[in-house]
Chain A
């Protein structure tokens, strides 16, 4: 029973594939819906504000990015909701917290496919999420 799906998005190519798989999964069940989750980590705020000029513009750019995925899901005929989490420490932790606080039948996320070295430096979001999220997790490679 995959009715209530949580889809974690970061705007990369992996998010495209994760979105496709989330739609396929949602289509298996009548009345299934998807909640898209986007995390703006603290340091991401700094980069975005620097590159987009101010907070308003950064929000607008993010909205554009999310609208892309939102439209794909809507066009597939699946109800979709968007959640953006701000000011968090890290990416994995807020995803885990959000997923465990809601009642989701599955979490879908894309793997960034980092090398061993990159994983050591950046930390593996998908690894942590797989480990601590209570719901079934579909990691899309």
Chain B
């Protein structure tokens, strides 16, 4: 066992060279994304840049998964659009702080284990819906544009995908941005740039209280947003955490990460940043580039902020075409293509859940609603599958006995069909209900057994219930058989 100090030391300084180099690579890849996600949310680019800076730095210290990168993300930005449009930035900052508080509670009460209630098909639907939304959010940049803009997007994508064939020493995204920006400045194309979308910071973020009235009305406005942000943030963070666990073949503390994400969002809200979470793409880039320690996240945050302050007047000249290209790449990378290839192999219900999640999100533009719909639908499918009870009939002529062998789970959703399978008008002396291969789960099941006994007894047929397992027998003792006990 490592002591806490030794563990901290290895998490911070166990891989200094790899962490610093990968941190720089990630910082460069973060800049265009943070700007693009701000534009999706409808706020100035500085809001996303401040968020990516402060979240990356806070998570470096307080996160549960060394090597994971967090910042402003598309999933979160997409949830904020209406809040920003209807109420403005100050309400977004307040919502960000509340999001953090909810996530801290999530971590303190160790709720990470409940994530198992989110089925895999819902998670796959979630990432696919996210990818589609990121892609469609870029379409607005193409409206009323000239062929020059289209050509620049194509050039950006070309560089991003073809350059790695030749060298992986420099991130191809960065090269694409530099080349396209340089070209646009030199040729003076007059295409829209980041500077046209809002102001960029040339200073470090400062601590400020959001300028909002502190009353119930404010809470009523921000709470639904904060709740959705908190859930989606945790969902994507824990998914990313599992991916980084897998990439590094190590384990990590899920509740600590939830708490860390919360503290990062509270801090970010006070420093003028938008809510964020762990980033799948950036974390994969980080680990692939050799970053596995806490230093990588700190480096990413610090380098990002330094670059923005130093290169401010160049960053504002990045054409929107280049950013749109990068976002299309992010969308392609986020989409789980193997799910398309394998959809025919999945159980039909899982495939339906996945499609419903995607369709709900694309329709409502709200990832939280999509996930919720997916979970409910999965639960319904599960109940429906379990509710299929098989009843086998055996008739013994000599004894004039009808035996029903019941296979399956008896609960509120299955009892009705089960009771309908029995023939209450059968001309027999005795009926045996064999429950050896069945289990009673709830009050409805116990009630159904009572009702069956009662119905046969009314017709003068002797009823015997056999094969109750321990749990079912206890249930019958507790809530079933009351009518019988009082009646006889």
Tell me, yes or no, whether A binds B. yes
Contact surface of A with B, Cβ cutoff 8 Å: 40, 42-43, 45-55, 58-59, 84, 86-90, 123
List the A side residues contacting B245 at CB < 8 Å: 54-55
Determine, out of B119-127, B320-328, B427-435, the stretch whose residues face the partner at the interface.
Answer: B119-127
Q: Is the CB of B120 within 8 A of A51?
A: yes
CA distance A58 to B440 in the complex (A): 34
Instruction: Using known A-B contacts A46-B243, A49-B242, A49-B246, determine if residue A89 contacts B289 with beta carbons closer than 8 Å.
Output: yes
10 pairs from A and B in contact (CB 8 Å cutoff): A49-B239, A50-B123, A50-B239, A51-B120, A59-B249, A86-B249, A87-B248, A88-B288, A89-B168, A90-B168
Contact surface of B with A, Cβ cutoff 8 Å: 116, 120, 123-124, 127, 165, 168, 239, 242-243, 245-249, 251, 280, 284-285, 287-289, 292, 336, 338-339, 342
CA distance A58 to B239 in the complex (A): 13
Chain B nearest Cβ from A125, distance in angstroms: 13
CA distance A59 to B124 in the complex (A): 19
Chain A nearest Cβ from B468, distance in angstroms: 34
Cβ-defined partner of B288 (8 Å) among A50, A55, A89, A123: A89
CA distance A53 to B122 in the complex (A): 11
Closest to A121 in B: B161
Q: Is the CB of B246 within 8 A of A58?
A: yes
Known A50-B239, A59-B249; further 20 A-B contacts with Cβ < 8 A: A42-B285, A43-B284, A46-B243, A46-B336, A47-B336, A47-B338, A50-B127, A51-B339, A54-B245, A55-B242, A55-B243, A55-B245, A55-B246, A55-B251, A58-B246, A87-B247, A87-B287, A87-B288, A89-B288, A89-B289
List the A side residues contacting B239 at CB < 8 Å: 49-50
CA distance A25 to B342 in the complex (A): 36
Q: Is the CB of A42 within 8 A of B284?
A: yes
Cβ-defined partner of A45 (8 Å) among B124, B247, B336, B338: B247
Q: Is the CB of B284 within 8 A of A45?
A: yes
Q: Is the CB of A84 within 8 A of B249?
A: yes
List the A side residues contacting B248 at CB < 8 Å: 86-87
List the B side residues contacting A47 at CB < 8 Å: 336, 338
**Residue of B246, B280, B288, B342 contacting most chain A CB atoms (<10 Å):** B246
List the A side residues contacting B124 at CB < 8 Å: 50-51
CA distance A59 to B280 in the complex (A): 19
Q: Is the CB of B288 within 8 A of A42?
A: yes
CA distance A46 to B130 in the complex (A): 15
List the B side residues contacting A88 at CB < 8 Å: 288
- Interface SS, B side: helix
Q: Is the CB of B284 within 8 A of A46?
A: yes
CA distance A54 to B252 in the complex (A): 12
CA distance A87 to B251 in the complex (A): 14
Chain A nearest Cβ from B329, distance in angstroms: 13
List the A side residues contacting B116 at CB < 8 Å: 53
Chain A nearest Cβ from B252, distance in angstroms: 9
Chain B nearest Cβ from A87, distance in angstroms: 4
Closest to B254 in A: A54
Closest to A43 in B: B284
Instruction: Using known A-B contacts A46-B280, A84-B249, A86-B248, determine if residue A54 contacts B242 with beta carbons closer than 8 Å.
Output: yes
Closest to A89 in B: B288
List the A side residues contacting B285 at CB < 8 Å: 42
CA distance A35 to B372 in the complex (A): 46
Cβ-defined partner of A50 (8 Å) among B287, B292, B336: B336
CA distance A45 to B168 in the complex (A): 20
CA distance A108 to B285 in the complex (A): 29
Q: Is the CB of B246 within 8 A of A48?
A: yes
CA distance A89 to B336 in the complex (A): 18
CA distance A59 to B249 in the complex (A): 9
List the B side residues contacting A45 at CB < 8 Å: 243, 246-247, 284
Chain B nearest Cβ from A9, distance in angstroms: 17
CA distance A50 to B280 in the complex (A): 12
Chain A nearest Cβ from B190, distance in angstroms: 35
Chain B nearest Cβ from A54, distance in angstroms: 5
CA distance A69 to B242 in the complex (A): 27
Q: Is the CB of A51 within 8 A of B246?
A: no
List the B side residues contacting A123 at CB < 8 Å: 165
CA distance A121 to B116 in the complex (A): 35
List the A side residues contacting B247 at CB < 8 Å: 40, 42, 45, 86-87
Closest to B292 in A: A87
CA distance A112 to B246 in the complex (A): 25
List the A side residues contacting B339 at CB < 8 Å: 50-51
Closest to A46 in B: B243
Chain A nearest Cβ from B158, distance in angstroms: 14
CA distance A80 to B175 in the complex (A): 44
CA distance A46 to B288 in the complex (A): 12
List the B side residues contacting A48 at CB < 8 Å: 246
Chain A nearest Cβ from B440, distance in angstroms: 30
